[in-house]
Amino acid sequence: MKFLLISIALSALTVNLAYAETGEKLYLQHCASCHGQKMEGGVGPNLADAIWVKAQAQRESIMGFVAKGSPEGGMPAWKNKLNEKQLGELADYILMPKFEKTTERNAVDSYPELKHFRLPVGFKISVYTDQVPSARAIAVTDSGIVFVGSRTAGKVYAVLDKNHDGVADEVITLAENLNAPIGLTLLNGALYVSEMSRVIRFDDIEKSYTKKPVYKVVKDDFPKDKWHGEKIIQASPDGKLYIPIGAPCNVCDKENEPYSKIYRMNPDGSNFEVFAKGIRNSVGFAFHSITKELWFTDNNRDEMGDNMPSCELNYAPKAGMHFGFPYCHSGVLPDPEFGKLRSCDEFTPPAVNLGPHVAPLGLKFYTGKKFPEQYRNQLFIAEHGSWNRTQKIGYKVSLATIVNNKVVSTTPFVEGFIQNEKTIGRPVDVNFLSDGSMLISDDSGGRIYRVDYQ
């Protein structure tokens, strides 16, 4: 299991940092020629993680192994060259979390706000990259290429971690001069990008992303309204593409127009059809990892005060469902203007109300193996945070625990994007690397964060 580059769990350190400073000198003098300057491995094995065959990730175990050596493995015994104090210093250095061993000796000092983030025990957060302005949707290939859309820059980026150390090494501009490309999804080897009024496709993306590939237009006749006009896109398990058209207003009745709906279509843009209605502004779709059914977020109306209505997480197991907008909000609250036209009883209520103005956006079910078992097949939601509330709320990643298609609880998972009413970041999307760690995009700070479990 890899150690994180930047960790907020400083209290978990069990090594002597002063010893480790001296241990670095001993390591470079005696060990680096075989194990690499950064413990990346060479003639000897990689020491950068804590999975070793002949020693445990414990101080005493490492000291004993280094002292005795491994003649059959080609490693000499060091007990006659290093005394017990030096062996301890060397072990402390090897065990030190990786951020203390990089060229930025105290990389956490570059992001001091991370010290005040809050996660469950065992989880740690780091900055994967801070070179993606206005980072929005995240799409990740099986090989680990991270594609990110940027709203204000009008670009799509490819983010690469070439040495697999949990920190991006390179950010490549894949495409530019696009109109708010906030939605990305992968399907059949292609990267689909949703702009304000069209969907485009980059074929064979893993082979072409470094070459400024030419895109193909899939569909270009969406409404051009700027109010809730930016669009996400998500491929479904059955090979369809889902895309919303939001309400072009705070609240208005567009029932008989293309707005306030979720649509689906074939990968070539054909068979474009309504899937669900009564949705003000959805900026997040996720398909359950087992049932393959759709869950989505919805941002409810403004101008009804600080505490109403609540934003929603919705469950849509079939086509044709209506979720209430503009007549009913949060499942129980008639709209002051349009509520007299229809009753809340007519509509599908939210799976859960997430809170007023928290602005839930991207969401994703966890299917990896790195996090503890209780997180498997559960739903993580990025809450962008309120912009129009007396006291800000949201600004976090939440966990929705789902049993038999019912949300039994919602709990904070990553907090700290707002500290003393100061905005540190605004989460937009969540996705996962193949190693099971989580990525979180932040369009305010232009960052992508990585959450690991250890």
Q: What are phi and psi of 13, to 5 degrees?
A: -65, 135
Residues of the chain with pLDDT under 70: 1-21, 40-43, 48-54, 57, 96-109
Helices (H) and strands (E) in the chain, counts: 5, 29
In this structure, the number of other CB atoms found within 10 A of the CB of residue 405 comes to: 12
Tokens read off for 196: 């304000």
pTM above 0.75, yes or no: yes
Tokens read off for 301: 């109306």
pLDDT for the residue numbered 21: 59
- Please say whether the beta carbons of 286 and 252 come within 8 A: no
pLDDT for the residue numbered 20: 55
- Please say whether the beta carbons of 128 and 166 come within 8 A: yes
- Please say whether the beta carbons of 215 and 201 come within 8 A: yes
* Cα(31)–Cα(25) distance, integer angstroms: 10
Give residue 79's identity as a one-letter amino acid code. K
- 150-186 confidence digits (pLDDT tens): 999 999 999 999 999 999 999 999 999 999 999 999 9
pLDDT for the residue numbered 102: 33
pLDDT for the residue numbered 8: 34
| CA distances for 436 relative to 73, 121, 267, 284, 429, angstroms | 32, 17, 28, 21, 16
* Cα(233)–Cα(80) distance, integer angstroms: 64
- 193-235 confidence digits (pLDDT tens): 999 999 999 999 999 999 999 999 999 999 999 999 999 999 9
In this structure, the number of other CB atoms found within 10 A of the CB of residue 11 comes to: 6
Closest CA to 130 of 102, 168, 98, 99: 168
Closest CA to 238 of 316, 291, 194: 291
Give residue 74's identity as a one-letter amino acid code. G
C-alpha triplet 417, 420, 422: angle, nearest 5°: 55
